[in-house]
Amino acid sequence: MVHANIARALADDELRIRGLRFANLRIVIGVVLVAGAWLLLPFGISQLATGQVVVLPVLDVLGGGALLAGGVCLIVSGVRGRRRAESMHKPDTENGQANPAFDEDRQPLATGGVPLGWIGNVPGS
């Protein structure tokens, strides 16, 4: 029973960490795409504004718009993924607050032994 709870907690923690890593990756890729759009869009817009309507400025504007849209979508999905991964594990208490589970009286185990949380208990004695 205890081993199953520990295994489930470890698996949940691994999923949470994997979710955080994947969300961080999406945010970084999104920022890189937005930076690429920031470099690409002004050149194409300035070329179109001067009246040089050829294939390259049009492709620059279209490509920059696609980079901008993709980057924003990735950043938004990364932020949502971070929030979801951080909410997967809710500790019993927040930092600096008392944990009521430590204040309750310990009950003897069904096997007749005492819980390891009792003061003075030495396993194997």
Question: For the segment 42-62, what is each residue's pLDDT rounded down to a tens digit?
Answer: 887 888 788 766 777 778 888
Q: Mean pLDDT throughout 21-40?
A: 94
Choose between 98 and 65: higher pLDDT: 65
Taking Cα atoms as reference points, which of 29, 28, 48, 51 lies closest to residue 40? 48
Distance CA 61, CA 29 (A): 20
Q: Please give the distance of CA 5 from its chain centroid, rounded to a whole number.
A: 23
Would you state the pLDDT for residue 45?
A: 80
pLDDT for residue 58:
79
pLDDT for residue 54: 74
Per-residue pLDDT reduced to its tens digit, 69-122: 999 999 999 999 999 888 876 555 556 666 666 666 666 666 766 555 555 555
Tell whether the model's pLDDT for residue 125 goes beyond 60.
Answer: no
Cα–Cα dist 106/36, whole Å: 60
